[in-house]
A and B are shown apart, each in its own frame.
Chain A
Amino acid sequence: MSVAPAPGQAAPRPRYRLRRALGEAASVALGLVLLIWSLLPVYNMLLIALDPEEGETEFAGLIWPPEPSLESFRVVLVGGYWFIEHFWHKFGNSLYLGLMTMVLTLLIGSLASFALGRTRLSRLRWLASAPLFTYAIPASFLVIPFHRVMHVYGLTDNLWAVIAADVTFAVPYAILIFQQYAKLIPIELDEAARVDGGSLAQVYLRIYLPLMAPALAAVGTFALLYAWSEYIYQYLLLSSERNMTVAVAIAQFFDADEAPWNYMMATAIVYSLPPIAIFYALRRTMTAGLTFGGVGK
């Protein structure tokens, strides 16, 4: 059957093409907006940090650094200004805090999730969700009594007080993730090991931990980044120069009336580099490790 295209029917094709082109243009525009939105504050950090002298760029209404210089980064790295004296010591404190939080979160979280998910305790289903009650109390609300309780424990101005707080808030999340991930490991493996005479501790060490490696990597990274990014407990629980972390040092600049902002921004950038590097380096592994069930297909 031959159909002569009516004049009205020829139109849809170009209109369709036009709509496609418009759609493409809209998505490019949206992409540009998102790009600027994401980078503007980051650019602002660089702008101030690259300024060789305090107070030139940021108060002169300039939107690019007139004489970009890495001087402020040099000052930060050698600890050449009194707020950032012993920069590497404070950096070490931050790192210690992060690593301890990571190790303890993994240890305590994996032990608890193993017991709650794969032993007779798993029959008490409410027990498994009890840790999540922690999240009904915001960390910033708990910090006031927490601060006083630390006096009772003799942990005043002590990094371990902050580690305790970070572990407290990281472990419920760890348990949640471990429980989700452990569902992918057949319980028959445990049973077989038990039949062969393995104790529960051996099942945990030889079967549970090795098979949970991807989840452990992901949660460990989360705990590390969480401790690195957490601010209020470090700010309120640490006071001496010896126990101070980089995050608190940056906030110290803030409280001062006259401080070289370029040094502050350089410190902030140096402090941001390790988590960003870890984040981007592990992005794919972590995603692959945690695409439960249907996700990602």
Chain B
Amino acid sequence: MPIPQALAAGSIAVSRPGPPRWRLPLPGSELAWAIAFVIPYAAVFLAFVVYPVAYGLSLARDPSLYVDLVSDPLYARTVINTLLFVALGVNVKMFLALLVSGFFMRRRWWIRALLVVYILPWALPSVPAFVSFHWMLIGEYGFLDSLLSALFGIEGPIWFNDRWLALGADVVSYIWKWLPFWTLVFLAGRMAIPREIYDAADVDGATGPRRFLHVVYPLLANMYLVCTLLSTLWTIGDFTTVSLVSGGAPARSSEVLATLGIHYAFDVGVPSLGVAAVLSALPVLIPVAAILMRRLQMREVQL
């Protein structure tokens, strides 16, 4: 589980001396070698990031595209869906992850065993996971509705016939897939808090919710912010969940920007409109990315 550890380390680990400095006179060839080492990545970055981005920007530079977008009711609906998907998909998930990570701090054998099962959604590739969600909710006899009627005698709804139920299903599936990952991130963060701090809090009588509020949360606050920003970037760009779980049903009313952009570009066949649709997320993406970069660059300790 490299990512959680690294994220935890990035925002919590004790600060280390800055970049190493050579104290020796250097042979002149050193810089040449160093540049040669960076060239492969620079080539990848130019060929597969800079060029496509520039190409995309040039595709979507026509202002009339944005007039078309705004006048399309599908676009307005999609923006609302995207805002809801991101707001719920990020915040509910992060908050649950923070709480559940506290549960997994308990030292019981069965809780450790449960953790092994709990990370299964993360280990599962996204296509099988979301295909399963789609099938669980489809029609009148999807597994979930069958279960509801067998256990409680309730007749479940037809999930993909209603915009809000469909969008809700997307959000829940998304949370299901990524909750374990963020739980592990916070678990690593909590384990990085020195035992003595907990002990001191115990002595002062801070236990349970009060310990969480006055000890754990302030210590993890910076990390929580960094993770929330990162997760926001990832969630805005999420295509697979909505594409496979609800597929935009009913009648494209549960689309998000990522799926709508692909729909315009590949189904309708107007790539410039597709790029314009996703570019309209830039006013949100850029500030989030900028704050995130600043936070990641600040290497000082928050503990």
**Contact flag A191-B23 (CB < 8 Å), given A58-B141, A138-B258, A148-B271:** yes
Bound together, the chains give a CA A45 to CA B120 distance in angstroms of 13
The interface stretch among A68-76, A81-89, A229-237 is A229-237
The interface stretch among B30-38, B63-71, B209-217 is B30-38
Interface string of B25-44 (1 = CB under 8 A from A): 01001110111011011001
Interface of A is mostly: helix
Q: Is the CB of B13 within 8 A of A293?
A: yes
Q: Is the CB of B126 within 8 A of A231?
A: yes
Interface residues of B in 259-290 (CB under 8 A from A): 261-262, 265-266, 271, 274-275, 278-279, 281, 285-286, 289
Most A CB contacts (10 A, CB to CB) among B125, B236, B243 go to B125
List, in ascending order, chain B residues with CB within 8 A of A58's CB: 135, 141-143
Q: Is the CB of B236 within 8 A of A138?
A: yes
Bound together, the chains give a CA A187 to CA B21 distance in angstroms of 8
The listed residue (B100, B136, B145) touching A41 by CB distance below 8 A is: B136
Is B10 part of the contact surface with A, judged by Cβ < 8 Å?
yes
The listed residue (A35, A132, A164, A175) touching B114 by CB distance below 8 A is: A35
A-B residue pair count with CB separations less than 8 angstroms: 318
Q: Is the CB of A112 within 8 A of B139?
A: no
Interface of B is mostly: helix
List, in ascending order, chain A residues with CB within 8 A of B188's CB: 295-296
Interface residues of B in 1-55 (CB under 8 A from A): 1-3, 5-6, 8-10, 12-14, 16, 19-24, 26, 29-31, 33-35, 37-38, 40-41, 44-45, 47-49, 51-53, 55
Q: Is the CB of A168 within 8 A of B37?
A: no
List, in ascending order, chain A residues with CB within 8 A of B281's CB: 141
Is A211 part of the contact surface with B, judged by Cβ < 8 Å?
no
Task: Considering the complex, give the chain A residue whose CB is closest to the CB of B266.
Answer: A236
List, in ascending order, chain A residues with CB within 8 A of B233's CB: 135-136, 138
What's the nearest-Cβ distance from chain A to residue B135, in Å? 6
Is B240 part of the contact surface with A, judged by Cβ < 8 Å?
yes
The listed residue (A59, A143, A251) touching B127 by CB distance below 8 A is: A251
Is B128 part of the contact surface with A, judged by Cβ < 8 Å?
yes
Is B124 part of the contact surface with A, judged by Cβ < 8 Å?
yes
**Contact flag A136-B262 (CB < 8 Å), given A31-B110, A58-B141:** no
Q: Is the CB of B141 within 8 A of A39?
A: no
The listed residue (B13, B30, B286, B296) touching A120 by CB distance below 8 A is: B30
Is A78 part of the contact surface with B, judged by Cβ < 8 Å?
no
The listed residue (B2, B22, B118, B258) touching A286 by CB distance below 8 A is: B2
**Contact flag A265-B6 (CB < 8 Å), given A232-B239, A276-B120, A279-B123:** no
Q: Is the CB of B120 within 8 A of A134?
A: no
What is the interface of chain B, defined by CB distance below 8 A to chain A?
1-3, 5-6, 8-10, 12-14, 16, 19-24, 26, 29-31, 33-35, 37-38, 40-41, 44-45, 47-49, 51-53, 55-56, 59, 100, 103, 106, 108, 110-111, 114, 116-118, 120-129, 131-136, 139, 141-143, 145-147, 149-150, 176, 180, 188, 191-192, 194, 230, 233-234, 236-240, 243-244, 258, 261-262, 265-266, 271, 274-275, 278-279, 281, 285-286, 289, 293, 296-297, 303
* Cβ contacts A to B, 16 pairs, < 8 Å: A47-B143, A61-B150, A108-B41, A112-B37, A119-B30, A120-B30, A122-B19, A122-B20, A132-B293, A135-B233, A135-B289, A177-B6, A268-B131, A269-B128, A290-B9, A295-B191
Sorted from nearest, which 7 A-B pairs have the closest CB atoms? Answer: A138-B237, A145-B56, A136-B289, A268-B128, A115-B37, A292-B9, A187-B20
